[in-house]
Structure 1
Amino acid sequence: MTIPWLTLAIALPALGGLAVALLPRDRAETAKRVTLGVTLATLLLVVAMAAQFAPSGSGPLQFEEVYPWIPQFGISFAVGVDGIALVLILLSVLLVPLVVLAAWHENDDAPDQGKGYFALILVLEAMMIGVFAATDVFLFYVFFEAMLIPVYFMIGRYGRGEGRRRAAVKFLLFSLLGGLLMLVAVIGVYVYGGTFLWSDLADPAGGLAGVDTATARWLFLGFFVAFAIKAPMWPVHTWLPDAAGSSRPGTAVLLVGVLDKVGTYGMLRYCLELFPEAAKWFVWPVVVLSLVSIVYGAIVAIGQSDMMRLIAFTSVSHFGFITLGIFAMTSQGQSGAALYMVNHGFSTGALFLIVGFLVARRGSAAIADFGGVQKVAPVLAGVFLVAGLSSLALPGLSPFVSEFLVFLGTYAFHPVPAIIATSGVVLAALYILWMYQRTMTGPLPDSLAKLRDLSGREVWAVAPLIALLVVFGVYPKPLLDAVNPAVERTMQQIDVSDPAPAVGQAGSSSGGAEGESE
């Protein structure tokens, strides 16, 4: 009997969310326990599935399931994963229980609100798994749009600050605009390809192979703009700082750590593999936008006075590196981009959680309200430093590996953009170290004299992320073994090869000359 792993992974948190929503309003503690239990069960289920994944499998997808859904229009409930989708699903199911732990006492003053927030977390988890697992383009679009609903309420109803409703509406409007453009492209794909199944559409011998060049480029743009908004790339990034700044830290972790990866994942899975010629034609515009995102996001982050908004702007810069790696059109660049998605989730997730602990203690995310925290909370300050150093890609921590691969892969074809992109590393050191200096070092204000260090629950919430940053910084092979075969298939699909090493060419030429002379 074949176990429907992915269907179970989607159904478990979805049903758990329904169960939490149906609990009585005065059962907030029960809601927390049920939510944590469901998220841990989902994590164990996905880990068990991942243990059976064969990176060098014969086909592009594993754990495939296809069930008729709307057969009149050829729409199926079709799911499956390659190595990239698998590691992103693992990232999702890891972050959710950590968010639940971190948010355990956030609603103690209003327990009637906690039940709804935790139910939304579970529903969102189901949709995050679904969007990475979907192999029917229409099903992908459904999950892509459905994710907006829980996030809208998590920001607008359960967020922080007076501007949370405006930020939620802005997030929704930007996302709906991108979704509308993608819907047009999805319809176009069906009209020209005759199916919604990704495996058929990506088949070089069929699917969209017969689409004329101009049409393919317009369809590419429909998907790309939607993914650029979700990613977010400059200049369609403006919703993110408002949304992250008005969110609870746990919401920001899932928003930036997972949901934004749907955009860059979609570029790899749909933009490149369905429209290879169009993707190559748009390389330079995307490279330029990526460079602007890298530099702009970093410079604006330096000037932020709110830690939540600062981290959000750093993510604009980091996503510039990811899109640069994707459109470098080299295996190193795309492997680095895929690895960057995961490592950014670890790094940014840790930063948002730690800032959340500070906000819970001080009631503010303003940098000016802190100082000298390491004197009274050394563990908190130490964890904050490690998370911050990972964000600036310090060697020995996992983001360094992915950033180095992006630089290596980009330099092979685009040396000037690669050199320009290195400015993002210098700027990252400025915004991270300056934030740490202003909040953790210096004189201790009297208002922070009784600030407590991390509790046991908080340590459990952030320690796994710190551990993974160190482990994959020293030994990234398990992640690379999973994503590299998927990247190789993408390179074959878009018919691009890595450039031969110049040193190797020179050595071969000299060796040949010597042989001839002898």
Structure 2
Amino acid sequence: MLTALVAVPVIGALLAGFAGEGRGPRVIAALAMAVELGLCLALWLEAGPLFRIGGHGAWLAYESAAWIPRFGIDYQLALDGLSLPLLTLTAALGLVGVGASWTEIRERVAFFHANLLFALAGTVGVFLATDLFLFFVFWEVMLVPMYFLIGIWGHEGRTYAAIKFFIFTQASGLLMLVSILALAFLHADAAGGFSFDYFDLLDLDIGAPLATWLMLGFFVAFMVKLPAVPLHSWLPDAHTAAPTAGSIILAAILLKTGAYGLIRFTVPLFPEAALAFAPVAMALGAASIVYGALLAFVQDDLKRLIACTSISHLGFVLLGVFAWNPWALQGALMQMIAHGVSTGALFLLAGALQERLHTRDMAAMGGLAARAPVLAGFGLFFAVASLGMPGTGNFLGEFLALLGAWQASPLWTAISAAGLVGAAIYALILVQRSFHGEPPADLRPADFDTREIAMMGALAVALLWLGLYPQPVFDLAEPVFATLLTETRP
């Protein structure tokens, strides 16, 4: 089943790439992601008993086969209650991304959908790989297709944005590769053979100075992808230039690989070094929350505003991860999922407006509530969800992250709470400037059609479900976090 999760988008990408132009690639991509979503839902319904691998964890499924035995490299995939919700998010938002590009992409349609599915396949691999060499391969696989999505089908400034995205992620990824190789050599010194096995490396005893440097190699790579201040500057450019599907995939899914890496690798592999570094990491989380909100205030470009809010919202994830207690970790996971749904919906909305109005400038909008009421209604719902309205998953994620962070650092928690005020302001600015006020005389946008209503409605239901009945997510993740907390306890 785990190999199938990786194989389905890969096969879909190959079929879509050779399907010619027209509807064929779109249909193939949609079917591939529908099958992927079905597999994820089947895993939710048929989750088996938990078991330990290498003496670690509470795992649901595991696959392993020798790949390059000379260097201790295996094809090794594993699934637990942390990765399964993120895989489901990947499949669901991948399907939305295909739907969002249904009428927007008109040139090189086959190549576009092949790249979209390859990026999603790399993300699936990142969430499943437990061999660190294989993890790095998947990490690189998801970058190249995204570079093409931005650079070929993006909007103005796309070449600059694509190159900036690639340089930031590739350079930080090389730092992570150095740390991975160092761990393999340390294992060879300790056990007489190379190993990239996550479960073997968890048992390594690494001295304090070296552990700190190796931890920083992982930390910087994941901070860039999250992204967090001061490594965030690539994000607004990439989101602004990307096509709608690219923005959805980037914000809703690829950014979560950074947060996932912090939870899965950075703290468990280097618990003492990471927890000693926690005050600095929490300070960066608080800075991201406040600075991201301030950046959003001054934006006129709708997509750029939404992009800046991601910096702020994912600061709560960074804060929660390094608070490293059950409340904070559950809040970080819920924020990852809810942010993916709400921000993906907002980028879908921004793409629909750009397709209709040929502009992202909010000053050229206004009055949409009267002329496109369904579009404006969904915009209001997701803007309000983004500011953390009770009853939505966003509220639960931020509340639990702050609750857990307060136990670790009241100072940074209090500063971070100011971001909630900022979220309310920029969300209301978005609603007021885009949907209300005096409309331009020539503004006659079409309202959402059936396809768009179906996608936005599904995302709205998901966000309400996360806010009103989050227990299935909490129950699935609780054994994972309990094990991680026990194994990293000083």
- Interval of TM-score (by shorter of Structure 1 and Structure 2): over 0.9
| Change over 3 Å in CA distance of 1:56–1:7 after alignment to 2 | closer
1:411 aligns with 2:409: no
Q: Please state whether the residue corresponding to 2:76 is helix, strand or coil.
A: strand
Q: 1:493: Cα distance to partner?
A: 1.6
Measure, in 1, the Cα distance between the counterparts of 2:120 and 2:362: 31
Measure, in 1, the Cα distance between the counterparts of 2:256 and 2:473: 16
Q: 1:49: Cα distance to partner?
A: 2.1
Residue of structure 2 in register with 1:20 after alignment: 16
Structure 1's unaligned 5+ residue stretches are 497-518
1:52 aligns with 2:46: yes
Residue of structure 2 in register with 1:35 after alignment: 29
Which string of whole-angstrom CA distances, capped at 9 and with x for unpartnered residues, describes residues 93-133 of structure 1?
0101111112101134x3xx111111111111211111100
Alignment of 1:246-261 (within 5 A): 246-261=241-256
Q: 1:55: Cα distance to partner?
A: 7.5
Residue of 430, 433, 446 corresponding to 2:425: 430
Residue of structure 1 in register with 2:468 after alignment: 474
Measure, in 2, the Cα distance between the counterparts of 1:413 and 1:106: 46
Residue of 155, 159, 166 corresponding to 1:172: 166
Q: 1:57: Cα distance to partner?
A: 5.0
- Contact conserved, 2:299 with 2:305, CA < 8 A, in 1? yes
- Contact conserved, 2:362 with 2:434, CA < 8 A, in 1? yes
Measure, in 2, the Cα distance between the counterparts of 1:197 and 1:95: 30
Structure (1 or 2) with the larger CA radius of gyration: 1
Q: 1:16: Cα distance to partner?
A: 1.2
Which string of whole-angstrom CA distances, capped at 9 and with x for unpartnered residues, describes residues 2-30 of structure 1?
xxx11011111101111111223xx3211
Q: Please state whether the residue corresponding to 1:327 is helix, strand or coil.
A: helix
- Contact conserved, 2:50 with 2:60, CA < 8 A, in 1? no
1:484 aligns with 2:478: yes
Alignment of 1:138-149 (within 5 A): 138-149=133-144
Residue of structure 2 in register with 1:515 after alignment: none
- Contact conserved, 2:338 with 2:393, CA < 8 A, in 1? yes
| Change over 3 Å in CA distance of 1:51–1:21 after alignment to 2 | same
- Contact conserved, 2:18 with 2:110, CA < 8 A, in 1? no
Which string of whole-angstrom CA distances, capped at 9 and with x for unpartnered residues, describes residues 429-458 of structure 1?
11110111011011121121x211100011
Residue of structure 2 in register with 1:349 after alignment: 344
- Contact conserved, 1:17 with 1:118, CA < 8 A, in 2? yes
Measure, in 2, the Cα distance between the counterparts of 1:54 and 1:300: 45
1:103 aligns with 2:98: no
Query: Which amino acid letter does the alignment assign opposite residue 10 of structure 1?
Result: V
Q: Please state whether the residue corresponding to 1:66 is helix, strand or coil.
A: strand
Measure, in 2, the Cα distance between the counterparts of 1:182 and 1:430: 37
Residue of structure 2 in register with 1:67 after alignment: 65
Q: 1:419: Cα distance to partner?
A: 1.1
Which string of whole-angstrom CA distances, capped at 9 and with x for unpartnered residues, describes residues 295-352 of structure 1?
1010011100101111111111111110000001211011110111111101101110
Residue of 428, 438, 443 corresponding to 2:438: 443
Measure, in 2, the Cα distance between the counterparts of 1:143 and 1:247: 22
Moved more, 408-417 or 218-227: 408-417
Residue of structure 2 in register with 1:93 after alignment: 91
Q: Please state whether the residue corresponding to 2:228 is helix, strand or coil.
A: coil
Q: 1:62: Cα distance to partner?
A: 2.2
- Contact conserved, 1:99 with 1:461, CA < 8 A, in 2? no
Residue of structure 2 in register with 1:188 after alignment: 182
Measure, in 2, the Cα distance between the counterparts of 1:45 and 1:274: 30
Measure, in 1, the Cα distance between the counterparts of 2:243 and 2:410: 40
Moved beyond 4 Å, runs of 4+: 54-59
Residue of 1, 7, 11 corresponding to 2:3: 7
Measure, in 2, the Cα distance between the counterparts of 1:257 and 1:92: 8
1:358 aligns with 2:353: yes
Residue of structure 2 in register with 1:512 after alignment: none
- Contact conserved, 2:132 with 2:180, CA < 8 A, in 1? yes
1:83 aligns with 2:77: no
Query: Which amino acid letter does the alignment assign opposite residue 201 of structure 2?
Result: L
Return the TM-score normalized by structure 2: 0.96
Measure, in 2, the Cα distance between the counterparts of 1:223 and 1:107: 36
Residue of structure 1 in register with 2:280 after alignment: 285
Q: Please state whether the residue corresponding to 2:64 is helix, strand or coil.
A: strand
Q: Please state whether the residue corresponding to 1:446 is helix, strand or coil.
A: coil
Moved more, 385-394 or 49-58: 49-58
Measure, in 2, the Cα distance between the counterparts of 1:344 and 1:197: 31
Q: 1:61: Cα distance to partner?
A: 2.1
Measure, in 1, the Cα distance between the counterparts of 2:29 and 2:170: 29
Alignment of 1:198-209 (within 5 A): 198-202=198-202, 207-208=203-204
| Change over 3 Å in CA distance of 1:75–1:57 after alignment to 2 | closer
Measure, in 2, the Cα distance between the counterparts of 1:326 and 1:107: 38
Moved more, 84-93 or 118-127: 118-127
Measure, in 2, the Cα distance between the counterparts of 1:38 and 1:413: 43
Q: 1:489: Cα distance to partner?
A: 1.1
- Contact conserved, 1:55 with 1:482, CA < 8 A, in 2? no
- Contact conserved, 2:327 with 2:400, CA < 8 A, in 1? yes
- Contact conserved, 1:373 with 1:441, CA < 8 A, in 2? yes
Measure, in 2, the Cα distance between the counterparts of 1:148 and 1:12: 19
Measure, in 2, the Cα distance between the counterparts of 1:364 and 1:266: 36
Q: 1:54: Cα distance to partner?
A: 4.3
- Contact conserved, 2:17 with 2:114, CA < 8 A, in 1? yes
Return the TM-score normalized by structure 1: 0.91
Measure, in 2, the Cα distance between the counterparts of 1:135 and 1:490: 15
Task: Using the aligned pairs only, state the percent identity.
Answer: 38
Measure, in 1, the Cα distance between the counterparts of 2:143 and 2:127: 15
Which string of whole-angstrom CA distances, capped at 9 and with x for unpartnered residues, describes residues 171-191 of structure 1?
000011101100100001111
Residue of 382, 387, 390 corresponding to 1:387: 382
Q: 1:56: Cα distance to partner?
A: 5.3
Q: 1:292: Cα distance to partner?
A: 0.8
Residue of structure 1 in register with 2:458 after alignment: 464
**How many residue pairs get matched?**
480
- Contact conserved, 1:228 with 1:236, CA < 8 A, in 2? yes
Q: Please state whether the residue corresponding to 2:323 is helix, strand or coil.
A: coil
| Change over 3 Å in CA distance of 1:56–1:401 after alignment to 2 | farther
Measure, in 2, the Cα distance between the counterparts of 1:48 and 1:123: 22
Query: Which amino acid letter does the alignment assign opposite residue 333 of structure 1?
Result: A
Which string of whole-angstrom CA distances, capped at 9 and with x for unpartnered residues, describes residues 73-111 of structure 1?
010110011111111011000101111112101134x3x
Q: Please state whether the residue corresponding to 1:81 is helix, strand or coil.
A: strand
Residue of structure 2 in register with 1:501 after alignment: none
Measure, in 2, the Cα distance between the counterparts of 1:421 and 1:276: 24
- Contact conserved, 1:55 with 1:83, CA < 8 A, in 2? no
Measure, in 1, the Cα distance between the counterparts of 2:78 and 2:297: 41
Structure 2's unaligned 5+ residue stretches are 189-194
Residue of structure 2 in register with 1:330 after alignment: 325
